[in-house]
Structure 1
């Protein structure tokens, strides 16, 4: 298996692709980004490293958008060395479209993230290592952190959700009941209508996503108006550059049904819980991550758009809960006015409105 190439701008940076397979045999993708042609900035051997984690069905492409000033550009200019992990939920990998594939967020927390962190540390030596994570990448990271599997990080930025998921009532209803019906009939929910085809089992899902939509693009409808049929929204439409909007089908892939049972258990618990309770391989993970939050050993910045149409104000809730239960933890919350769930990373003005909060947090701890 070969990961689809990163859709990155050429010339501004050099991308080193590093072969990486998790110890359970799952092939992933890891890349290191440096300045091309020895451009100005801190010497490579002095730069703190930043590992970037995408959300489910997205990929590292969300951090290297060629049509905007992206997060990797900003980190390089600020003197950091970005590393990109495509964990098993990436649309650059085939795992979400493969009907034979099956995984839970336990696998991401136990294998993908800790082993990627270890691989990065092999290369950077004693340099400081930060993690910036989005959505279910951040949720999985919280399970790794509370298990003590990624100790000694210099700091973590968690965007959208972290330890305390919070969904709207209609989204909860669809996830717990509608997706149970879907899961018996399909293995994944696609976003690209061109690939699915008009005469397919997915046509009713696209039709449902189109109801009340302002945008005529079926992929946008599925993401902005439906979020893979759970009735949520991934972004504020006006925050996207036209070119980003045109390639949404490249930036987001199919949502696999295999993770839905774990998501349902997490949502019912209102926190991150382990899925595999009887399999001894996962015993290192806490049964309830919030109960083990005192194992978090680094500063955490919780971020969210004020118009988050998927997880609502889950990260504000997380900040308040952690501040009350674990006041010794260094946790802060930043809300980005006018932004939704994923546009804090892929929005056309994210470099002006969002990335400064991330760099400021990193700079305070570098």
Structure 2
């Protein structure tokens, strides 16, 4: 199996696509990106950054050709980006396949195996992780299970260890999610593929009720409904026109079987495994918050102020971690005017968001250790990245 090609700006970057399989046999996608410049050189001390997408998205969200994307920003700042398409990627068939997975599998296999491979390639250079949404939540299980020690730093965007919905999303997500799971194995976003007479038509019709001036059914599902949960993935006006037109390529079907696991974690406001015992799942913590003392690197918690998918999850995470683990270097940054995924795919993200990420990476890549770096809290407005 080969993942479909990235929608990467090939005039700006070279993509090294790496055949990659997790240790449980699941085929994934992994690639390394380098600058496509006649003057570009390959520094031997360049820190590496692993980027993790959210559920049903893919590595495409980091390489949008129509904007100055995060990979552009990382390459320009002297970092080496690596992109993992874990098993929840829409570039892979697993969300619509017969073999089901949970976030335990992502935390136990996908992320640690990718980190191990990258470390073999980069030697002693530093490795950071920038993770979004359920990629970040799965990462929190890997970290608190001691499966990825020695990272130089982690940026978790949207949610990390304490998933939290709004009251409306909790009602629709918990009740409606169970109803949907009894009828469908996955929920699509591309209306052109399912057709008007499909069994999914009522879902699209409900999502269109608050469509406003937008006439794109995929946008209705993502912006007005988030697959029937009542959430919203982005602030509509933050998207570039080209990005808006490519939503059906950037997001795929949501598997309904992951709903119970996500609901269990949201009700408890903590990351926790679904499986118990056997097949190595006992390596994951019973409760990530209770094992957060195993986190051995600085963490930047990032969120848009208008995050209507995971509400104020990262603010809650900061409050809990800084209270329970005062020696942990954890920071919280809230970006005004942004939602859940537009901090990465928004047309102005390079100006408003990426500077926070690069400042954190720069500070930590220059620091030989985390000693003497106090936990801090930042809530500030837009700023320019370099």
Give TM class, smaller chain. over 0.9
1:100-111 pair list within 5 angstroms:
100-111=98-109
Matched, 1:39 2:39: yes
- Measure the CA separation in 1 of the matches of 2:317 and 2:23: 31
Q: In structure 1, what is the Cα distance between the partners aligned to 2:273 and 2:73? A: 35
Equivalent pair of 2:173/2:230 in contact (CA under 8 Å): no
Aligned residues: 364
Q: Which residue of 2 aligns with 1:23?
A: 23
Are 2:231 and 1:226 equivalent residues in the alignment?
no
SS of structure 1 residue aligned to 2:148: coil
Inter-partner Cα distance in structure 2 for 1:35 and 1:243 = 23
Per the alignment, residue 356 of structure 1 pairs with 355
- 1:133 and 2:131 correspond: yes
Aligned to 1:252: 251
SS of residue in 1 equivalent to 2:20? strand
Once residues 35 and 232 of structure 2 are traced to their aligned partners in structure 1, the CA distance between those partners, rounded to angstroms, is 35
Note the 1:164-183 alignment, pairs <5 A: 164-183=162-181
Q: Residue 13 of structure 1 corresponds to which residue in structure 2?
A: 13
Where do 1:38-187 residues align within 5 Å?
A: 38-40=38-40, 43-98=42-97, 100-187=98-185
CA distance in 2, matches of 1:45, 1:149: 26
SS at match of 1:96: helix
Whether the aligned pair in 2 keeps the contact of 1:209 and 1:221 (CA below 8 Å) is yes
CA contact (8 A) 2:8 2:65 kept: yes
User: 1:165, CA displacement in angstroms?
Assistant: 0.8
The residue that corresponds to 1:294 in the other structure is 293
Deviates more, 1:54-63 or 1:176-185: 176-185
Q: Is the 8 A contact 1:191 1:253 kept in 2?
A: yes
Deviations 1:318-355 (A, max 9, x none): 00110000000000000000000000000001000000
Is the 8 Å Cα contact of residues 44 and 81 (structure 1) preserved in structure 2? no
Instruction: Give a deviation string over 1:182-235, Cα, whole Å, max 9, x none.
Output: 111110000000011111110010011111111111000000000011000000
Q: Does 1:340 align with 2:339?
A: yes
How far off its partner does 1:37 sit?
A: 4.6
TM-score (ref. length: structure 1): 0.98
Counterpart of 1:277 in structure 2 is 276
Any unmatched runs of 5+ in structure 1?
A: none
**8 Å Cα contact 2:51-2:81 kept in structure 1:** yes
How far off is 1:101 after superposition?
Answer: 2.3
CA contact (8 A) 2:62 2:70 kept: yes
Q: State the SS of the aligned residue for 1:174.
A: helix
SS at 1:50's partner residue? strand
Relative to 1, partners in 2 of residues 1:280 and 1:97: Cα closer, same or farther, differing over 3 Å? closer
Residues 95-125 of structure 1: per-residue CA shift (max 9 Å, x gap): 0122x12000000000000000000001000
Structure 2 spans left out of the alignment, 5+ residues: 366-386
Q: Note the C-alpha offset of 1:38.
A: 4.7
Cα separation, 1, equivalents of 2:11 and 2:166: 43
Deviates most, 199-208 or 272-281: 272-281
Q: Within 2, Cα distance between the matches of 1:36 and 1:121?
A: 23
TM-score normalized by the length of structure 2: 0.93
Provide the aligned C-alpha RMSD in A.
0.9
Counterpart-to-counterpart distance in 2, 1:173 and 1:341: 19
| Residue equivalent to 2:380 | none
